[in-house]
Amino acid sequence: GCGTGLCGPLLAPYARRLLGVDLSRGMLKLAAEKQAYHELIHAELTRFLEEHPDEFDVIVSADTLVYFGALEEVATAAAASLRPGGVLVFTVEDAGEEHASSWMLCRHGRYAHGPEYVRRLVSDVGLDTHIARGELRRESGLPVAGLIVRATKPGGSGTTGAGSASGEHHG
């Protein structure tokens, strides 16, 4: 979900068309105040992606998938909605080495995902991947360790900017 739209103003200069999708009408109202999106859509993210195959050049999901445990369904939908050469960029909290090949529910109510799990997942849906570690945000004054993932759908000659979907949630 695009949440309050914090990524919208950062992405808008690079998008011919920028869509925001969120399940919460309240979040969409806050995103609309940013005046960065061409269209805001009230829908569940996975279902929306499933209904738009081969439509997007870029999908950005910042701080959204921390609200998903298993990522197989949303990753499959995202991969199918990308055009050849399209790019999926997303963040998840890092589950650490103890849970490197799986995911876990954290005490704060969000999920964390292991790098091996994410790498395998992205590969299984047919995307080439690059994963970096980084600080996603600060919570109670402490850095939140995360994985920053860039996954590319094979084919195509790169992105054209003809369509973009943005997802983010800061809650």
**Confidence at residue 157, expressed as pLDDT on a 0 to 100 scale:** 65
What does each C-alpha distance from 46 to 18, 67, 103 come to in angstroms? 17, 12, 19
List CB contacts of 53: < 8 A, sequence separation 6 or more: 80, 81
**Confidence at residue 63, expressed as pLDDT on a 0 to 100 scale:** 93
DSSP state for residue 170 in the 8-state scheme: -
Cβ(111)–Cβ(82) below 8 Å: no
Reading the block at residue 153, the tokens are 């759908």
Cβ(79)–Cβ(88) below 8 Å: yes
**Confidence at residue 1, expressed as pLDDT on a 0 to 100 scale:** 84
What does each C-alpha distance from 99 to 70, 105, 131 come to in angstroms? 13, 11, 16
- What are the helix (H) ranges across the chain? 8-11, 25-32, 45-50, 72-81, 115-124
**Cα–Cα distance, 44 to 119 (Å, whole number):** 24
Could you report the per-residue pLDDT of 109-159, keeping only the tens digit for each? 999 999 999 999 999 999 999 999 999 999 999 999 999 999 999 997 644
**Confidence at residue 160, expressed as pLDDT on a 0 to 100 scale:** 42
Q: pLDDT per position in the chain (171 positions), as tens?
A: 899 999 999 999 999 999 999 999 999 999 999 999 999 999 999 999 999 999 999 999 999 999 999 999 999 999 999 999 999 999 999 999 889 999 999 998 999 999 999 999 999 999 999 999 999 999 999 999 999 999 999 997 644 443 444 444 333
**Cα–Cα distance, 78 to 33 (Å, whole number):** 26
**Confidence at residue 98, expressed as pLDDT on a 0 to 100 scale:** 87
> DSSP string spanning 58-100?
EEEEES-GGG-S--HHHHHHHHHHEEEEEEEEEEEEE--GGGT
